Structure 1
Amino acid sequence: MATSSFDLLHNFLTRRRDANYHTRTLNDKELFHDRDVFFENYKEMNKSFKIYVYPHRQDDPFANVLLPVDFEPGGNYASESYFKKVLASSHFMTKDPSTADLFFLPFSIARLRHDPRVGINDIQDFIRDYIFNISHVYSYWNRSGGADHFYVACHSIGRSAMEKAVGVKLNAIQIVCSSSYYLSSYVAHKDASLPQIWPRQGDPPNLANERSKLAFFAGSINSPVREKLLQVWENDSEISVHFGHLPTSYSEELLRSKFCLHVKGFEVNTARIGDALYYGCVPVIIANHYDIPFQDILNWKSFSIVVATLDIPFLKKILQGISVEEYSILQNNVLKVRKHFQWHLSPVDYDAFYMVMYELWLRRSSSRIKA
């Protein structure tokens, strides 16, 4: 049955009522779902959590894929390289597999994609062969069918890279940026969302600048959701939507906007949440069925707005309905939470590395199998 205009309006007003209730109670909300539990578990994780990484030599033909990078990661998929590089020198590493809570599969999807010997077409074969090899050389994979193993991937090609390694796809923990409930390869609660973050050092300047724009988005038109956003808001004076060259710098646009839009493209994930948080802009997430990073830990309602793709025509009403006081609470919480979305070569407590480790700690096996 077709939805009438009355039904659409009624549904919108109901969601707006719920949103008003949400913002009125922001003062009563913590940044964490349960702050005390998180901090207690975090201490235990830091003290006892152990990871075994399958060893590979520098002269391995695929050392570039299997070992940590020897440079500071950069670019849109830096999260993958940062995690592996920081883990390699962390106190979580163990050389004794009998003490390990989890086993790390250290292949890099991003580097496999750019390796001319592999490339996009042969990644699935590489992963299949890699799992075959470790399962015949070591006993650890076979004890659990890979359920106590994990890998990390930020590039979207990772969503199909395990098609010929069913044990990885169904059993292993997948820490991936392309964390959509639509994908059959992604299993919520078993897997976890990796934040896609452009690496930046230090705090941004001039956060106290006046934010004269209501909302901002810039990006390519690569999804029906973005097409709808462009169709409705391209010529609006308060919501800046750009699909092309920006008249000012990207950072300036983020700094002068109250809300920054994270809009689903080819995948649900982009680096725009990290961008918004870094520049003190309240993220607005328009990506249905997105398993938001660290949502097991953080209360996203306290520092962001989630808008259903169906409600894009009502976007201005939703954002204008947030009072000055409510916005101030949201933005203050953005400034508190952004430390969880930053990478450091030497990890800092509660930064992105430690938050990913905590997600892994939550997913460790309740009973360790002894060798």
Structure 2
Amino acid sequence: MNRSLKIYVYSHRSDDPFANILLPVNFEPGGNYASESYFKKVLMISHFITKDPSKADLFFLPFSIARLRHDPRVGIRGIQDFIRNYISNISHEYPYWNRSGGADHFYVACHSVGRSAMEKTIEVKLNAIQVVCSSSYYVSAYVPHKDASLPQIWPRQGDNPDLASYERRTLVFFSGSLNSPVRENLLRVWGNDTEISVHTGHLEKPYTEELLSSKFCLHVKGFEVNTARISDALYYGCVPVIIANHYDLPFADVLNWKSFSVVVATLDIPKLKKILQGISTDEYLVLKNNVINARKHFQWHLPPFDYDAFYMVMHELWLRRSSLRVSG
């Protein structure tokens, strides 16, 4: 993959009226949707880019869903029309979309608005590779095996934290808004427990300290199946416990999630303590060590590091590239 995969990006000038949406950001990405901006920023300086479309395995559609959402000329209501017009323009200006029906094209989106962005451009949803954070089997916009799951990652500065000096006295930790029935059920069952620390408001200790002092950290479905809590947990050496049915976990084609996380069905929330207490000390230490090994896959770097989030996404794209090269 590293030697052979080539990607052509539809070019746009810096004076394009929508350059802020189509070109990489000129600042360090941050926040919940940083993965979307980081990928494009890193891709554009990578050796995977080709200026010769005849050598391309894949074609990148460089629009940013997150930036479309915040652009007053477009906004949430105008995203579908923008995408429809964009695909219409490139299909008239270039031959590449038409010859494959978009099957060798892809876009990247982390904002949840992206799951409805293609409703007026069904061929994108059905044919193109959608690399998205909201990768739920339950959502009709997401097509398993064709599309790929993008991890939601808060950017980190500096070296990985030294985890050896922290004692993990709390069995399991969660903090988040009550924006789903799953989270409401979690609070109802475990809100007053002394070993399961569930918070929905202000934390007495900093969030990072809670992660560093807990053996297990919950990733619980909210409005979407995805949150940054998995990457948070991995970064701070806490074993993720995933309670999000129908979540197509990031990089599942490569990573064995059972080796560094625990997946619990939403119906088993009442059994949560029993499940976690049933994990022996030796089994936990294996999970914890694998967490430390896995966290490099859930970090963004500029320029990229081997096996980091960028290279993992590229590998997902390489697995999904068209096996039929169209000539012409």
Which of 345, 348, 357 is matched with 2:305 structurally? 348
Aligned twin of 2:256: 299
DSSP 3-state at the match of 2:125: helix
Q: Deviations over 1:288-309 (max 9, x none)?
A: 0100000010000100000000
- Superposed, 1:30-41 pairs within 5 Å as none
Q: Are positions 1:86 and 2:45 aligned together?
A: no
* Mapped partners of 1:242, 1:205: distance in 2: 25
Which of 238, 245, 252 is matched with 2:195 structurally? 238
* Mapped partners of 1:63, 1:107: distance in 2: 9
Give 1:370 deviation, angstroms.
2.0
* Mapped partners of 2:66, 2:132: distance in 1: 12
Aligned twin of 1:262: 219
Give 1:253 deviation, angstroms.
0.2
* Mapped partners of 1:338, 1:218: distance in 2: 20
* Mapped partners of 1:52, 1:143: distance in 2: 15
Which of 18, 23, 29 is matched with 1:73 structurally? 29
Q: Are positions 1:359 and 2:298 aligned together?
A: no
Give 1:368 deviation, angstroms.
1.0
Contact 1:207 1:279 (C-alpha < 8 Å) held by counterparts: no
TM norm structure 1:
0.88
Unaligned runs of 5+ in 1: 1-44
Which of 233, 237, 244 is matched with 1:280 structurally? 237
Give 1:254 deviation, angstroms.
0.2
Aligned twin of 1:310: 267
Aligned twin of 1:7: none
Q: Are positions 1:108 and 2:64 aligned together?
A: yes
Which of 114, 121, 125 is matched with 1:158 structurally? 114
Contact 1:251 1:279 (C-alpha < 8 Å) held by counterparts: yes
Aligned residue identity for 1:285? I
Q: Are positions 1:182 and 2:138 aligned together?
A: yes
Give 1:173 deviation, angstroms.
0.2
Moved over 6 A (4+): none
Contact 1:147 1:171 (C-alpha < 8 Å) held by counterparts: yes
Contact 1:110 1:153 (C-alpha < 8 Å) held by counterparts: yes
Contact 1:262 1:287 (C-alpha < 8 Å) held by counterparts: yes
> Quick one: percent identity of the two aligned structures?
80
DSSP 3-state at the match of 2:156: coil
Which of 120, 139, 145 is matched with 2:76 structurally? 120
Q: Which has the higher helix share?
A: 1
Matched positions, count: 327
RMSD, aligned α-carbons: 0.6
* Mapped partners of 1:219, 1:87: distance in 2: 32
Aligned twin of 1:204: 161
* Mapped partners of 2:326, 2:46: distance in 1: 23
* Mapped partners of 1:182, 1:303: distance in 2: 24
Contact 1:146 1:172 (C-alpha < 8 Å) held by counterparts: yes
Give 1:206 deviation, angstroms.
4.0
Larger deviation, residues 202-211 vs 225-234: 202-211
